[in-house]
Amino acid sequence: MSEVQSVPAAFTAAVRTLLDTPLLTEGMEGFRETYAWRLELRVFFARVAALTVQSGPGVLRLVLSPPFPEGGRAWADVRSPQAAGFVAWVLWYHEFLGVQAGEVRQFSLAELASAISSHPQAQDLDFSVRSQRLALLQAVRALRELGALAIVDESSQEWENGEGEAGSSGGALLEFTAAAPYLISRPSELPASAAQRAIRILLCGPSMTRAQDPEAFEQLSAPLLEDLQHTLGWRLSVNSEYATLHREGLVRGMGSRWMPGRSAASSVALLLLSAVREEVRRQRLTPEDYGRLTVTKMRLYGLLDQVRATHRARWGTMGKESTEKLLELVLAEWRLWGGVAVSDRASVTLEPHLARFDPTYGTEAAVEARGQSEKQQAATSLFD
């Protein structure tokens, strides 16, 4: 029996860094240490997950697929579909300017907005509306977080409030970095086996559900999965309807956003999960195929009012919000955790992997989840 080869700690750190921050640029924490392993990283990710690693002067990018259609945003500042659309518009502006490799081209928020508004396909946009200005700012901040955009001058307040002029001095002063072209063109996906597809889903999101890819789910015991766990030092747990790759140790970047934080909204979201679980236990709600659970919003309003009656004193000003507003905040949290399969005006369908969070108020899982090992209920479904 052959011995398992040891993995250099520096390579494990490089893999984790690139997973937490898929677009690294020079000057970002961990860039030089990770960039030194770029050739090995390219081979590793292609072999285990059929994922592409791109590299260039001062840039390293792991090309990841969007984790979930119903949210679970990878970028902290993108809070709406409109903001996500403006990310594409800002990258279009890079091509519109004709920025060459190595060239620095500065522009203002007002110039950016004016160029977008002038495009024939953007006639429905109106930056005199404050919500649209805020969405554009969210896109700009998200691209800055990714390292594709630098904010030279932060003075965006006047433009945000509609007071800035439409000239070159209006709003913050921005410039594209060398990483921007890597977000404009997306390489073709590599052909992937069922086991590679399973790993890809686990790396691109908080968990994998059987519903996402039933064939790939059956490959969760394949040798490639053992290789992945050995390299990363992370543990895979598999339940009947979902699997989770536990990102143990200090988790930053994208991975940290897939877990409850210390906010009041996270606490409310966890408490409502506890109430939903109790409804299932009492057979008032019944799980569906693949362990999913559909709940009407009217039912959630009622459960939320019950939860608020018990815990309002701990929520501060959030406890005074309307039930409708509170549910909006809860659904935003659940989407962030990748827990919403489908939602419409009347109902919400929840994913089974929400079971990985202990929904008890004040527990370590609720308070210390961000950056810590998750407290698991690995043998059960949230809806059992």
How far is it, in rounded angstroms, from Cα 349 to Cα 295? 6
Query: Residue 162 — pLDDT band, cuts 50, 70, 90?
Result: low
Dump pLDDT digits (tens) for 81-124.
788 788 889 989 988 888 776 666 788 888 899 999 999 998 88
How far is it, in rounded angstroms, from Cα 189 to Cα 383? 35
Q: Which residue has the higher pLDDT, 296 or 171?
A: 296
Local structure of 371: helix, strand or coil: coil
Dump pLDDT digits (tens) for 245-270.
888 765 566 666 677 777 888 889 99
Report the run of H or E that residue 120 belongs to, with start and end: none
Residues with Cβ within 8 Å of 330's Cβ and at least 6 positions away in sequence, in order, are 265, 268, 269, 272, 300, 304
Task: Please give the model's pTM, rounded to 2 decimal places.
Answer: 0.75
Place of tokens 């877990």: 259
How far is it, in rounded angstroms, from Cα 74 to Cα 71? 9
Place of tokens 């307040």: 157
Local structure of 219: helix, strand or coil: coil
Place of tokens 């407290």: 375
Lowest mean pLDDT among 23-27, 157-161, 337-341: 157-161
